[in-house]
Structure 1
Amino acid sequence: MTPATDLRPAHVRDSLAARQIVLIDVREPAEYAAERIHGALNYPLSTFDPDALPAGGPRAIVLQCGSGKRSAMAMDLCRKAGVEIAGHLDGGIGAWRAADLPIVRIDPATGAVRDAR
């Protein structure tokens, strides 16, 4: 199994656009609902089961959280379970925002879904 790596936001963006990866957001549902990366699936760390990941398909798994700490913990859980992943978004959604990449946000006043940077 190839070791998982720290991936930069631009690499993750390009891999998502090319449909080469599945991005797994390990933040809690309220965090995911408030703000997320387009196309990310939510598998919260609090109930994370590496065997439940959509593995074995043509796309590599990349993990993501708010800062990189929880996705690194999830990578460790995957390693221990023998589940291969490509890596995690280094710096999480915070690094994604800092790179001025698009996110989906929910307007708390109206509940409207908005694309943001």
Structure 2
Amino acid sequence: MLYTIVAILGAIILYTLYMYFSQKKAVTPLSQEEFIKGYRKAQLIDVRESNEFEAGHILGARNIPVSQLKTRMKEIRPDKPVYLYCQSGIRSGRAALILHKKGYQDISHLEGGFKKWTGKVKVK
């Protein structure tokens, strides 16, 4: 029993470390100030679900939920910078990994996500 628990905990720790270092290689985390400096020249994508997007999003953002990313990848140009954000930064990190595996190179995301955003917001 104890060996099973230790094995499960070990697997969880290894998976967490793997995801952390994979994301670190795939995406550049940006502070809000850095994000604001570059997002007008980039493809600004909100990877939250539609209802979250409609409740409020960064002005100029497109909504491509991470759950639909693989089927909507054609909407994102690989030759232009991609700026991602979600509510807290977890889903945008996952989205960045998906894009990175498909060959996208210039990927950044908003550190802390939309919940820490104090810039302009649009509500539908």
Q: TM-score, normalised by structure 2?
A: 0.70
Unaligned runs of 5+ in 1: 107-117
Distance 1:56 1:75 in 2: 12
Structure 2, unmatched stretches of 5+, are 1-24
> AA paired with 1:5?
T
Counterparts of 1:77 and 1:67, CA distance in 2: 18
Q: What residue number does 1:111 align with?
A: none
RMSD: 1.9
3-state DSSP of counterpart to 1:6: strand
Shift of 1:79: 1.6
Task: Tell me the CA shift for residue 51 of structure 1.
Answer: 3.1
Residue of structure 1 in register with 2:41 after alignment: 20
CA distance in 2, matches of 1:73, 1:4: 10
Residue 10 of structure 1: CA displacement?
A: 1.3
Q: Do residues 83 (structure 1) and 104 (structure 2) align?
A: yes
State the Cα distance separating 1:56 from its structure 2 match. 3.9
Bigger fraction of residues in helix: 2
Give the Cα–Cα distance (whole angstroms) in 2 for the partners of residues 3 and 76 of structure 1: 6
Matched residue of 2:123: which SS?
strand
- 1:55 paired residue number: 77
SS at match of 1:30: helix
Which residue of 95, 110, 116 corresponds with 2:116?
95
User: Structure 2 CA distance, aligned partners of 1:84 and 1:42?
Assistant: 20
Structure 2 residue identity aligned to 1:70: R
In 1: Cα distance, 2:74 partner to 2:103 partner: 12
Deviations 1:5-60 (A, max 9, x none): 101111111213xx321111000001001110000110001111273242145x41
More strand by share: 1
Q: How many residues align?
A: 99
Cα 1:53–1:4, aligned 2, differ >3 Å: closer, same or farther?
farther
TM-score with structure 1 length normalisation? 0.74
CA distance in 1, matches of 2:60, 2:50: 15
1:12/1:28 CA distance change after superposition, 3 Å: same
2:123 maps to which of 98, 101, 105: 105
